[in-house]
Amino acid sequence: MKIISAPDYAGMSRKAANLLSAQVILFPRSVLGLATGSTPLGVYQQLIEWYGKGDIDFSQVSSVNLDEYCGLPGSHPQSYRKYMEEHFFAHVNIDPAAAHLPDGMAPDLEEECRRYDGLIAALGGIDMQLLGLGHNGHIGFNEPGEDFNKTTHVVELESKTRQANARFFDSPDEVPRQAVTMGIKAIMQAKKILLVASGESKAEILYRAFFGPVYPAVPASILQLHPDVTVVADEAALQVIREREAL
Ligand code: F6R
């Protein structure tokens, strides 16, 4: 595992965007695994800026997102499809047909999970997976206690996760109770992992994820066993690791 530090959120975003952009420049047909949430917003903004300057071309890239809420159509302002369109897809030249998310409205969600796993396999797997880190150690929507051996599946969202996401909805009750997420096994099959973390509120869990025991209580801890993980974090998020590991 490599840890790359940045002074602040903007620096973290630029460094992570640099790694993604190097991936796309070196391998224009890359399959990128993408994430939503607050942390990657600066990464997407930076990539859009470099695309605008002609530095990156996404025309041959495919993408697969980690997760999507169940019961929200792609047009819903809080769906992850909408987030990706607003914050990234609409601003770069990725082929809309190559920008994939699970369909949370699929009539048969189990079938949708199988379709999504089949799609990732048909694309040849994920070359670089961008991840955020939940306050409880979740990655994607794989909550504590989740089986490490799952591919894409339907999850019941923990109340802590629903509360954390409630800020994006008009009321907490509107936050969906289920989501489709790539499982830990599917994430671990990505060739490279790029995890971004920012802010003091992530410092303890970042430490536990990468320096604590590998166990399902901290889903991200499994990443310690992945052969190619890069963590890009700002100083606030690295605080506990610095204190306890003399980084
Ligand atoms: C989003 C996702 C989640 C987030 C995590 C951190 O697609 O899979 O695991 O990465 O909840 O979210 P933020 O970045 O908002 O702290």
**Token pair listed for 150:** 């799952």
Question: Among residues 57, 91, 103, 136, which one is catalytic?
Answer: 136
Question: Among residues 112, 117, 127, 138, which one is catalytic?
Answer: 138
The pLDDT value recorded for residue 135 is 92
CA separation for the pair 45, 121 (Å, rounded):
29
Q: Which of 201, 69, 226, 182 is nearest to 137 (CA)?
A: 201
The pLDDT value recorded for residue 36 is 97
Residues counted in the chain: 247
Q: How many CA atoms lie within 13 A of 28 on its CB side?
A: 8
The pLDDT value recorded for residue 207 is 98
> Buried b vs exposed e over 46-83: b needs ≥16 C-beta within 10 Å?
bbbebbeeeebebeebbbbbbbbbbebeeebeebbbbb
The pLDDT value recorded for residue 158 is 78
The pLDDT value recorded for residue 246 is 66
The atom number, within ligand 1, closest to the CA of 165 reads 15
pLDDT, block means (10 residues), the chain with 247 residues = 98 98 98 97 98 98 97 93 98 98 97 98 98 95 92 90 84 91 96 98 98 97 98 98 86
65 catalytic, yes or no? no
